[in-house]
Structure 1
């Protein structure tokens, strides 16, 4: 397969054509945060935390793309930690944290990117104030559970339903799914702990 050369944060990288920016960055030792990405599943780009800016030589305009879905091109210039990227990432983390305030993974990202204060105590105080406003489901609609059930387990026991603000993950017709084999893959991959497995006796 043809190889292409690009720049990631000023570092020259050569990878196979068709590789995503995220995978190229991993190979170059550049870390890009993700929530909805898993190497064994098709890329989805729902969480938007992996946003990067791209441009080409001679172009002044930069644009934001999701690194987990965008394929590399020859001569591409990628910025993973520009001021605009960091600002967008902080905003996205804040939005997701308001939806899933109990998520340890989101709390770690919020502290790392200084979304709300510099300490766990400041973050905890903010989340406590927001507790009455939150949706208790903790689902951020990343799609990991739906994709693992369909692509790896092969059962399609859960899927997305509705649109816009009403969109959610549910079983067909919101009834007990006869397709579910109880493997727990959906709960295992859920980044926010929205899916809980309970044993029935």
Structure 2
């Protein structure tokens, strides 16, 4: 067992756990949009940031990717952490103002819309990658992928063609936190 602290409370965790795993095991809430216990950590949303003091320095890290270590001190709601989360929620809210999940986070962090220019598309998808990863890691197919880059990044089928890999299992529909996959499902399946 590895012993360390979260919010000045001594906790223990198993070898191989991340800070997010340990926090959730001990009932400590750390927000995240792209994490699912059945999938490998991805670190896309960055909402799970925490401040870690490893004895040499203190830094902000993403808890879903940061492994627990003996003696580290983790703080989940410092001013630095909350500032990073507010910026992330601001960007997400401007991209997906109708997403219930994003609106709830905005309320929690006191964020209002329109600080940045909107893309003009409210698709509700915030590119967490849960659907793509579930398709690859759980179902074992590669029917979904990320297409394009930057502001044009999207969830699609490989080469934007109906995917023959799709077995219509619905895993992507089930795991999608915003319901955006319902709009994409028929496009992705093979015609």
**Normalising to structure 2: TM-score of the pair?**
0.88
Secondary structure, in 3 states, of the residue corresponding to 1:85?
A: helix
- In structure 2, relative to structure 1, the CA distance for the partners of 1:7 and 1:93 (3 Å cut) is same
In the alignment, which of 2, 15, 26 is matched to residue 17 of structure 1?
A: 15
Counterpart position of 2:61: 65
Aligned: 1:88 with 2:64: no
Superimposed CA distance per residue, residues 8-27 of structure 1 (whole angstroms, 9 cap, x where no aligned partner): 00000111122110111112
- Equivalent position SS for 2:11: strand
SS in 2 for 1:49: coil
Are residues 1:176 and 2:162 paired? yes
Matching of residue 52 in structure 1 with residue 50 in structure 2: yes
Could you say what secondary structure the match of 2:24 adopts? helix
Preserved contact between residue 94 and residue 118 of structure 2 (Cα < 8 Å): no
**What is the aligned-residue RMSD (CA, Å)?**
2.1
Equivalent position SS for 1:196: helix
The aligned counterpart of 1:165 is 151
Deviation of the 1:111 alpha carbon: 0.7
**Partner of 1:54: helix, strand, or coil?**
strand
Runs of 4+ with >6 A deviation: 129-132
**Aligned in 2, Cα 1:130/1:90: closer, same or farther, shift over 3 Å?**
closer
Contact 2:135 2:141 survives alignment (8 Å): yes
What residue is the counterpart of 2:6 in the other structure?
8
CA distance in 1 between partners of 2:177 and 2:120 (Å): 17
Structure 1, gaps ≥5 residues long: 117-125
- Residue 33 of structure 1 is matched in structure 2 by 31
CA shift for structure 1 position 132: 6.9
Deviation at 1:131, TM superposition (A): 10
Structure 2: how far apart are the matches of 1:132 and 1:151? 33
CA separation in 2, counterparts of 1:131 and 1:190?
A: 26
Confirm or deny: 8 A CA contact 1:20 1:68 kept in the other structure. yes
After TM superposition, give the deviation of residue 137 of structure 1 in Å. 2.9
Match of 2:106 in 1: 110
- Give the total of aligned pairs: 185
* Structure 2 alignment gaps of length 5 or more: 187-191
Contact 1:106 1:192 in 2 (8 A): no
**CA positional deviation for 1:130:** 8.6
